[in-house]
């Protein structure tokens, strides 16, 4: 009995020392790129719920010219206001995607374009940069935990 118990203890100790599997960072990067591309397509629907589905429940959103949105309600309010802009067109493209060695977090940065009609019917255009931080979810999918974008254009003179 002691011999069997000793063998079991040794096997457990050896198993505990085995290195953790190495995450496939290239696959994780590809998954983030694919998810971000789906997000761009969802943005074309101009529905705040479609946009915010890509955020975690505790996401932090830093929209331009607004306070930081730290709750789902604040995020939905901010995105809803943007989605309500007349004839809104928005798209973005990652320039770089990078992964944490753990394979649990990744980030991307890139550029965006945005246009809409103002109250007088004039076309308002914007372009800028953005950063998204992504977190792997329990189901293996990816969601954005932090999102920030801001304009490259100079501040309009009053």
Question: Which comes out higher in pLDDT, residue 44 or 10?
Answer: 44
**At CA 98, angle to CA 66 and CA 60, rounded to 5?**
25
**At CA 92, angle to CA 58 and CA 54, rounded to 5?**
25
> Coil, helix or strand for 154?
coil
R_g (Cα) of the chain, nearest Å: 22
Torsion of CA 42, 47, 50, 51, to 10 degrees: 80
Tell me the pLDDT tens digit for each residue of 58-96.
999 999 999 999 999 999 999 999 999 999 999 999 999
Q: Is residue 3 part of a domain?
A: no
Tell me the pLDDT tens digit for each residue of 103-138.
999 999 999 999 999 999 999 999 999 999 999 999
The pTM score is: 0.84
Q: Is residue 110 part of a domain?
A: yes
Euclidean distance between CA atoms 117 and 88, whole angstroms: 7
Tell me the pLDDT tens digit for each residue of 18-36.
566 788 999 999 999 999 9
Instruction: Answer whether residue 43 shows pLDDT above 80.
Output: yes
Which CATH number belongs to the domain containing residue 90 in this structure?
Answer: 3.10.450.50
Q: Is residue 8 part of a domain?
A: no
User: Can you give the pLDDT at residue 143?
Assistant: 98
Which residues constitute the domain of residue 81? 23-151
Euclidean distance between CA atoms 108 and 99, whole angstroms: 9
Which of 57, 52, 53 shows the shortest CA–CA distance to 70?
A: 57
Tell me the pLDDT tens digit for each residue of 136-152.
999 999 999 999 999 99
Q: Is residue 95 part of a domain?
A: yes
Sheet strands side by side (includes 123-136): 55-62, 142-151, 123-136, 105-117, 89-99
Neighbouring residues of 91: CB distance < 8 A, sequence distance ≥ 6: 40, 43, 44, 112, 113
Average confidence score pLDDT of the chain: 91
pLDDT band at 155 (very low <50, low <70, confident <90, very high): confident
Euclidean distance between CA atoms 54 and 145, whole angstroms: 9
Q: Is residue 126 part of a domain?
A: yes
Number of domains in the chain: 1
> Coil, helix or strand for 103?
coil
């Amino acid at each position: 009995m002691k011999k069997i118990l000793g063998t079991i203890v040794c096997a457990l100790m050896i198993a505990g020392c085995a290195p953790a599997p190495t995450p496939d960072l290239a696959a994780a990067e590809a998954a983030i790129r694919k998810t971000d591309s789906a997000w761009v397509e969802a943005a074309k629907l101009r529905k705040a719920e479609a946009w915010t589905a890509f955020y975690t429940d505790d996401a932090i959103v830093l929209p331009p010219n607004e306070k930081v949105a730290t709750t789902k309600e604040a995020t939905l309010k901010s995105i809803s206001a943007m989605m309500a802009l007349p004839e809104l067109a928005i798209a973005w493209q990652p320039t770089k995607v990078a992964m944490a060695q753990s394979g649990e977090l990744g980030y991307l940065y890139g550029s965006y374009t945005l246009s809409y009609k103002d109250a007088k019917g004039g076309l308002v255009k914007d372009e800028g940069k953005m950063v998204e931080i992504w977190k792997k979810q329990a189901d293996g999918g990816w969601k954005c935990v932090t999102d920030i974008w801001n304009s490259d254009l100079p501040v309009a003179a009053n």
